[in-house]
Structure 1
């Protein structure tokens, strides 16, 4: 473990619940691990460009406007579909199966959508491009072009890919996910299963707007839950409202026997700060305590030791936010601004509600006693 990085780990859900949460990128049937590292083999370049977003504009679909005589889902598919792309992740065979490299092979595929047609910027999930040596992007008009990784952020499961051939591109218009309502109709567009089923369209509703998954990357957000069918390969594709605006980035599904229609998307309004940073800098900055968390300190282990549930601090960065506030290795962090936490992903979820430089209150346990301290959040970069 790196003692001088903010280290958060996926916590296995309680066995009695038998929860299986699958990332949707079709690596080996759709299950992959999200690494706390930049994508291998692809340099994050950071362009310095200011992203040109289509947001705050008149919606492309209105009650009396474009295609108003069409069925709503037909209209959405016509409007948003051209912005949706397929992304193929190529890796050396030795990186996947071990042994000598046997040349590049397609390790998995996912989806994405164009947000800036002038500069060729595409949004997708980090787990779609993770480990890539080469990226190929399939466009609405049938072209297949090489993609370059601009920046990736495992802590939010977001990534930006750029293509140089920007002719005849169409960007998606972005909506405001903060105003979504339960029951509101939405459409998911993506490439489940790869090119064979490219730009599959499914419709449903917003089932909830405040879901929390104990899954690295997705744990950073209050996720959108939808019953629109999403499957392996849909990851990175857009969730679109009936006005033709992207409101979410399809990222995960709840997959358990007997359960249907439980897909999850990252809210677009919450994702935008990270998207802009990745384009402009090639990395994203996040608020941090500047500590390392011990993954083996589980609720079961805490019960065995007779200590509180929380996050066991295995190390603090010298001169970092936690050390300045008096937190030491061996402390157990139990709450942030009064919000109780029981594992590292819940800690991430709480911290990402704030900004670098914000002051927060941290509750922790040490030597049989509970303590509170005020702390100014430090900065953690995704690279």
Structure 2
């Protein structure tokens, strides 16, 4: 995403800044947690199997039910799966006392009657899947990356750009009569310049971001109902919400999502563990559901369902290593339901809802982007620096000051002037919005919320 000083001049981007990723990285000791959104480039699908610890960090992975750390050793198979396997093997080799028992092979008729073949129980979840697929969508995003040239070590400007297409999943929550609400992971839509939703009937529509919560890795996107055909409207339905707080280990679950970007697929398994705590790169933690239902790239933002087809989790990550099998993770729905409700109510940005020229808003500040270098080396907040507040402007009336850093506008995270510029066309003058700013006080930045009533740009231009 481009950086602009004073709103127009390029600059401010750290020339050594790494290319943005699809989301936060998580790492188990010696193993990698992979966020399960897929990347497509040039028509060939690339799946990252390992996340390398480029920054030299590692996460501890624990359970609130079991406070001991999960330890993985190169020479000893001591993961939870290995322990489970050893226990099962031990149980199978315990000598049987008394009459010798011999396993009998079932006849074809007996196997059919019992729903099993060769001793393997076949679980049919097709009815649940049929009723739930209309609530699940595929999400395709486009991200524009920019290569920067360094100019004397002070600032950078774009040298060239290229596009990367990613894939993920989403879940239909409902609508407000004018737009459809879809929940997904924040890392699926982060930095996207465009979003396309593919519904269960194969038809597509453009989407826009309504609200995001980076810490909990959830986002809500909107689709204008006016852009949907009658066929699509009649083929979709809102998901039924379950209760992840009442889950038990061993309970059966179903995962549905856009695996590898190929379209919706279904996997089944059980709840392997609850309250798995994972530390992220910024020091925050996420408490997740662990499941052995297969979770693959492209499943990010997809549904983890209980046996009745109710949403109990949002699929988010998997543990990827050649020695690991069946460790996927989902965000518990009860943990983020209130957050999702709040994000759904944020004004949607996109579609044909831009205000007219005469209603275009006015804030009254001059801004410059804060480079990644300034954030990393000087501890500045990631946001937009206010370097001048115009006298008697809406910003000054609201109490915004020089050197404040704007980090959020009406619930939308902003990191660059361009982020803010993309929001403003959807807010008419006279609208009251909430801005989050960080202000230097007593040697450190303190976050506060400021209420601003936007003015009209037409009143301040000749």
Q: TM-score range by the shorter chain?
A: 0.5 to 0.7
* Runs of 4+ residues over 3 Å off in structure 1: 9-14, 30-33, 93-96, 216-221, 377-381
Write the distance in 2 (CA, Å) between the matches of 1:164 and 1:10. Answer: 29
Normalised TM-score (structure 2): 0.48
> 3-state SS of the aligned residue for 1:203?
strand
Q: 1:211 to 1:265 in 2, by over 3 A?
A: same
Deviation at 1:225, TM superposition (A): 0.2
What is aligned with 1:133? 193
**Aligned with 1:89: secondary structure?**
strand
Per-residue CA distance 1:228-284 (angstroms, 9 max, x = gap)? 00100000000001111000000001112210000000000111121112122369x
What whole-Å deviation, never above 9, does each CA across 1:153-194 have from its counterpart, x for those lacking one?
211111111111352221110100000000000000001111
CA shift digits 1:107-156 (9 cap, x unpaired): 21100110105541000000000110000000001111000110112111
Superposed CA offset, 1:275-321 (max 9, x none)? 112122369xxxxxxxxxxx99xxxxxxxxxxxxxxxxx799xxxxx
In structure 1, what is the Cα distance between the partners aligned to 2:192 and 2:447? 30
CA distance in 2, matches of 1:199, 1:160: 20
Query: Which of 133, 143, 163 lines up with 1:81 in the alignment?
Result: 133
Aligned position for 2:435: none
Q: Does 1:238 align with 2:299?
A: no
- Are 1:110 and 2:168 counterparts? yes
What do you get for the CA RMSD once the two structures are aligned? 3.7
Give distance in 1, aligned partners of 2:285 and 2:24.
12
- Residue 29 of structure 1 pairs with residue 41 of structure 2: no
How far apart are the structure 1 equivalents of 2:185 and 2:347? 15
What SS does the aligned partner of 1:173 have?
A: coil
SS at match of 1:178: helix
Structure 2 Cα separation of the partners of residues 208 and 133 of structure 1: 37
* Conserved 8 A contact 1:224-1:264: yes
C-alpha separation in 2, matches of 1:252 and 1:73: 23
Structure 2 counterpart SS, 1:156: coil
Deviation of the 1:209 alpha carbon: 1.0
User: Which runs of no fewer than 5 residues in structure 2 stay unpaired?
Assistant: 1-22, 40-45, 53-121, 149-157, 349-374, 382-445, 451-462
Aligned to 1:173: 240
More strand by share: 2
Give, in angstroms, the shift of residue 99 of structure 1: 3.7
Q: Check the 8 A contact 2:27/2:33 in 1, yes or no.
A: no
Task: Select which of 119, 123, 140 maps to 2:183.
Answer: 123
Q: CA deviation at 1:218?
A: 11
CA contact (8 A) 1:91 1:133 kept: yes
Q: Structure 1: which 5+ runs fail to align?
A: 1-8, 34-69, 284-294, 297-313, 317-376
Contact 1:87 1:112 in 2 (8 A): yes
Query: What's 1:206 paired with?
Result: 271
- Which residue of 1 is the match for residue 32 of structure 2? 20
Secondary structure of the residue that 2:160 maps to in structure 1?
coil
Rate the CA distance shift 1:101–1:239 in 2: closer, same or farther, 3 A. Answer: same
Shift of 1:221: 3.4
8 Å CA contact 2:25–2:51 kept in 1: the answer is: no
Whether 1:101 aligns to 2:113 is no
- What is the deviation of 1:22? 0.6
Among candidates 259, 272, 283, match of residue 192 of structure 1: 259
Matched, 1:152 2:212: yes
Cα separation, 2, equivalents of 1:279 and 1:203: 29
Cα–Cα, structure 1 residues 232 and 273, in superposed 2: closer, same or farther, change >3 Å?
A: same
1:239, 1:217 → 2: CA distance? 26
SS in 2 for 1:233: coil
Mapped contact 2:24–2:35 kept (Cα < 8 A): no
CA positional deviation for 1:84: 0.6
Give the paired residue count: 246
Distance 1:239 1:152 in 2: 20
Shift of 1:94: 3.6
Which residue of the partner structure matches residue 118 of structure 2?
Answer: none
SS across alignment from 2:254: strand
Report Cα offsets for 1:29-59 as digits up to 9, x if no partner.
25899xxxxxxxxxxxxxxxxxxxxxxxxxx
CA–CA distance in structure 1, aligned partners of residues 345 and 206 of structure 2: 21
**What SS does the aligned partner of 2:279 have?**
coil
Contact 1:157 1:217 in 2 (8 A): no
The 2-side partners of 1:277 and 1:133 are apart by 23
Counterpart for residue 52 of structure 1: none
Task: Give the alignment's TM-score, normalised by structure 1.
Answer: 0.57
- 1:46 corresponds to: none
Shift of residue 215 of structure 1? 2.5
* In 2, Cα distance between equivalents of 1:82 and 1:32: 33
